[in-house]
Amino acid sequence: MLNKAIIAAAAAALIGAVSGVHAQEGERLPWGALKAGNKEGSIPAYAGGLPTNTNPPGFKKDSGFWADPFASDKPLYTVTGKNADQYADKLSDGTKEMLKRFPSFKLDVYPTRRSAAFPDWVVENMKKNAAGRCKLIENGEAIEGCFGGTPFPVPKNGNELMWNLMLNYKGKSAWYSAEGWYSDATGNQVLVNAISNRGDSPYYDKDLTPEAFYKAGGPYFNNSNIYSAPARIAGEGNLLRKWANPIANPDKTWNYSPGQRRVRLSPDAAYDFPIASSGGVANYDEIFMFSGRLDRYDWKLLGQREMLVPYNTYRFYNSKPSEVLAKQHINPDVLRWELHRLWVVEGTLKNGARHVVAKKRFYLDEDSFSAGMYDGFDNAGKISRGYWQFMMQLYDKQIPFGTSSWQIDFATNVNYYPSIYGGSKGILIETDQVEIDRFYSAEGLARRTQR
């Protein structure tokens, strides 16, 4: 009895330490977010998110784009470098640095819209995961039992929260058509790729059972890119596969080069190996904020904070590159900022481990785990990079979708935009089925690139 009492007291202390707001309001949604709003009313209570029959002017189903259901909203206030101190507790270090460094950068803050919503079958899986079927294994580097929903709706440690990020719901499968760009410190803008991208997540295949998913090795993320521009990389392609247990099944990346007409395994494409098209800004483990192994960092759950974050960014997703790119940073007029409760987790590089980013801090939306921000710090503790991931609710599909982002390297002032959808064909959700092991194979990549 004494042991049980001690465990219960420790659990209660942990919940209180994670966020004072937890002690005030206990009712939670199946994905772990607090249903209630905040005391000030600046964050509303959750009211179900955007319904599937949302139909704002200009929306065309399955067009690849989603019209903004909040287009008539007006900013409540604007944060600039001149008044940033007034909102300091609501800003990430990266956002503070942007406001400090660039007088032309600003945050237009709109009413908070808790738009995230999920299909019923995903919600049911979240409940099952929360009930105890989902577990960390391999010292927190792998999972087992989790399936079809947020793995750890109320995370108890940093590793659980990082798995919530890596397994946030983007639907089962999608084709994307987009362009990647970077701009240097002088404002020179460079098209780095035009891509056709396919992503599949058997983790969110409602026709699978958890047993079948893990019997197949747990391939939670599969991604294929084919490049059509610029001319120097046209015809190239790459392929990524990631697994629920990267110890038993190591993550793999393949690349195809038309000049060599060969698909090669890329063993170095991980951790802080730079993404060639990013202008030196992004590393492989910074895809979708974080993508890869957790083993080089000690992860600490810091709790929750009310913060300003890009949210319901329909304007960004519908904007062309010429509308997104400004001289020294993203065009602030394409971003909508809102006040949301975000989970905060910090990764500190382990003794003896190597990485160019000594400390990573992530801020993750409690309603979706897809919107968020990431700060990177160097060995001296100085902010070295900022990252903002953009979320919009695909209302007819019930998907809180977050795949596009903006990142800046503060040492060089180079900005990187891996996926700008406006002007391309956009995002097509679950248009067809593929045989995962055949499509996401070296041979499959060779077939698609050599057509």
Domain ranges of the chain: 77-449
Task: Measure the CA–CA gap between 377 and 372, rounded to whole angstroms.
Answer: 17
Sign of CA dihedral 128, 129, 130, 132: positive
Token pair belonging to 413? 């002032």
156-181 mean pLDDT: 97
pLDDT for residue 4 is more than 80: no
pLDDT value for 14: 35
pLDDT value for 450: 73
Token pair belonging to 295? 């083993």
Residue written as tokens 């490049």? 227
Give pLDDT tens digits for 123-155: 999 999 999 999 999 999 999 999 999 999 999
pLDDT value for 9: 36
Omega within 30 of 0 (cis) for the link into 111: no
The fold for domain 77-449 equals outer membrane lipoprotein receptor (LolB), chain A (2.50.20)
Number of Cβ within 10 Å of residue 70's Cβ equals 17
User: Which pLDDT band, with edges at 50, 70 and 90, does 387 fall under?
Assistant: very high
Token pair belonging to 101? 């460094």
CB distance 291 to 242 below 8 Å: yes
Task: Measure the CA–CA gap between 96 and 83, rounded to whole angstroms.
Answer: 11
pLDDT value for 260: 84
- Which DSSP category does 231 fall into? G
pLDDT value for 11: 34
Per DSSP, the chain holds a count of helices (H) and strands (E) of 10, 18
**φ/ψ (deg, to 5) at 261:** 50, 40
CB distance 233 to 227 below 8 Å: yes
User: Which pLDDT band, with edges at 50, 70 and 90, does 25 fall under?
Assistant: low
Token pair belonging to 154? 């109320």
Which residues on adjacent β-strands are paired with residue 197? 176, 225
- What residue spans of 206-324 are helical by DSSP H? 210-215, 314-317, 321-324
424-429 mean pLDDT: 95
Give pLDDT tens digits for 297-333: 999 999 999 999 999 999 999 999 999 999 899 999 9
Token pair belonging to 50? 């955007």
Q: Which of 229, 234, 224 is nearest to 258 (CA)?
A: 234
Put simply, whether the predicted model's pTM sits higher than 0.85 gets the answer yes
Strand residues in 274-398 grouped as ranges (E): 297-310, 337-349, 359-365, 372-377, 383-394
Give pLDDT tens digits for 352-373: 999 999 999 999 999 999 999 9
Average pLDDT, the chain: 93
pLDDT value for 451: 57
